């Protein structure tokens, strides 16, 4: 399978930022945009300008700030929206107008009170209007995966004829499964007669926890743009996680023959900055950027890591910007891990004393969650019957005394 380029469309500052608890000030959005540019995303969807003055100003300032990344602004299929988006991206070196309208009968009848004909007309008109401002126009068919296929293909053909260069087919409510998404993209791309004139994009939500899986299925079916967010933030259960998609294409390149321009060593920095700006942390077991993504407590795992990290890690932590793996001392740890940490702290033990230290460490771990370096030193002092006066060696950079210790092979 020949390799092709996958466009990374980051919507952290639009779909992600509009989720409850993740709102950012203009200066914070600009700061995050700089990090996204350093990360190497292809497109930053900077906001929804018609929504508020602050959103419009944020898109405008981001357009003035970033140099190498396309800046996109969202607009409904309405003249005022398109004009406001055009104003916001005008300073950008490369700007995109992203216009959308719902196409499913449920949304048309219950939300918009539109007929199919009205929706089609609005879509074509908006795309044509956007093309008067920029030659980079994206159209999204909201709730595409629940839209009648015949009508969806009709809309897509019409908007491509009107000038849309990217067609986004969102799984707006995260309803689909990977096999459905794959078949869906194949069907649409095959049936749309002018499909070769546009890039097809996937935008999957995580309501069933399938956003990343669905996005990867879409890539396999021909999508060459993916819409995603740092830490997977977004409406309701969130969007497909950028870091998971990118690392999946890198680690499983044998199955996903695409390349991206993302500088993966910046992934952790982007995740941490977003956490800092929003005050919303990712869960400890979050793939790629979670606190425990490269941490190991189980004794069998620690022993394998000490012998060859590939036993339990399919990627290197430094590849995503994490300083190093961490072996955490706790009730599940093994003797090898305790011995290694004692050595790093300058505490040399024979096998008999190590056994005693290990048993006391496990007993203490049954009573408290974390074993600190001071806890370990005190246990050693008690076992040896002498005070430990040697100053503990400094924990490796980026590793907490509470969390465990760094490990590199």
SS (HEC) of the chain: CCCEECEEEECHHHHHCCCCCCCCCHHHHHHHHHHHHHHCCCEEEEECHHHCHHHHHHHHHHHHHCCCCEEEEEEECCHHHHHHHHHHHCCCCCEEEEEEEECCHHHHHHHHCCCHHHHHHHHHHHHHHHHCCCCCEEEEEECHHHCCHHHHHHHHHHHHHHCCCEEEEEECCCCCCHHHHHHHHHHHHHHCCCHHHCEEEEEEECCCCCHHHHHHHHHHCCCCEEEEEHHHCCCCCCECEHHHHHHHHHHCCCCCCEECCCCHHHHHHHHHHHHHHHCCCCCCCCCCCCCCCCEECCHHHHHHHHHCHHHCCCCCHHHHCCCCEEECCCCCCCHHHHHHHHHHCCCCCCHHHHHHHHHHHHHHHCCCCCCCHHHHHHHHHHHHCCCCCCCCCCCCCCCCCCCCEEECC
Instruction: Give the tens place of pLDDT for each residue, 31-57.
Output: 999 999 999 999 999 999 999 999 999
Indicate whether 399 pLDDT > 60. Answer: no
Indicate whether 371 pLDDT > 60. Answer: yes
Top-ranked range on mean pLDDT: pick from 77-81, 306-310, 350-354: 77-81
- Report which of residues 328 and 219 the model is more confident about: 219
Indicate whether 408 pLDDT > 90. Answer: no
- Report which of residues 55 and 1 the model is more confident about: 55
For position 301, what pLDDT does the model report? Answer: 82
Mean pLDDT score, 266-279: 97
Class of domain 4-278: alpha beta
Where residue 24 falls among pLDDT bands split at 50, 70, 90?
A: very high
For position 39, what pLDDT does the model report? Answer: 98
- Please report, for the chain, the start and end positions of each structural domain, with discontinuous segments joined by +: 4-278, 295-407
Instruction: Give the tens place of pLDDT for each residue, 137-184.
Output: 999 999 999 999 999 999 999 999 999 999 999 999 999 999 999 999
């Amino acid at each position: 399978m020949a390799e092709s380029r996958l466009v990374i469309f980051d919507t952290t500052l639009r779909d992600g930022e509009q989720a409850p608890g993740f709102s950012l000030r203009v200066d914070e959005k600009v700061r995050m945009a700089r990090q996204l540019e350093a990360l190497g995303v292809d497109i930053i969807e900077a906001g929804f300008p018609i929504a508020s003055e602050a959103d419009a100003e944020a898109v405008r300032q981001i357009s003035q700030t970033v140099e190498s990344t396309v800046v996109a602004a969202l607009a409904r299929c309405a003249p005022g929206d398109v004009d406001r988006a055009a104003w916001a991206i005008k300073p950008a070196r490369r700007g995109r107008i992203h216009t959308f309208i719902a196409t499913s009968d449920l949304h048309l009848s219950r939300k918009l009170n539109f007929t199919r004909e009205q929706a089609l007309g609005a879509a074509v008109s908006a795309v044509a209007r956007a093309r008067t401002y920029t030659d980079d126009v994206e159209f999204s068919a909201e709730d595409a995966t629940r839209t009648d296929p015949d009508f969806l293909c009709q809309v897509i053909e019409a908007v491509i004829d009107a000038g849309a260069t990217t067609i986004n087919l969102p799984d707006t409510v995260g309803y689909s499964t990977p096999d459905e998404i794959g078949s869906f993209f194949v069907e649409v791309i095959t049936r749309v007669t002018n499909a070769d004139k546009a890039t097809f994009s996937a935008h999957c939500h995580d309501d069933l926890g399938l956003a990343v899986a669905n996005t990867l299925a879409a890539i396999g079916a021909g999508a060459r743009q993916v819409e995603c967010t740092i830490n997977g933030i977004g409406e309701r259960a969130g969007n497909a996680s950028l870091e998971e998609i990118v690392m999946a294409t890198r680690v499983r390149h044998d199955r996903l023959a695409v390349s991206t321009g993302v500088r993966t060593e910046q992934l952790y920095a982007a995740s941490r900055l977003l956490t800092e700006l929003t005050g919303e942390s990712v869960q400890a077991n979050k793939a790629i950027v979670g606190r425990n993504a490269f941490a190991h407590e189980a004794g069998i795992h620690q022993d394998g890591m000490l012998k060859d990290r590939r036993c339990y890690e399919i990627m290197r932590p430094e590849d995503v910007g994490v300083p190093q793996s961490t072996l955490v001392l706790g009730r599940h740890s093994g003797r090898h891990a305790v011995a290694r940490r004692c050595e790093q702290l300058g505490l040399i033990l024979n096998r008999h004393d190590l056994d005693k230290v290990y048993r006391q460490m496990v007993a203490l771990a049954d009573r408290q969650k974390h074993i600190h370096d001071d806890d370990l030193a005190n246990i050693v002092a008690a076992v040896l019957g002498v005070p430990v006066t040697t100053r503990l060696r400094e924990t490796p950079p980026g590793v907490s005394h509470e969390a465990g210790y760094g490990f590199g092979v």
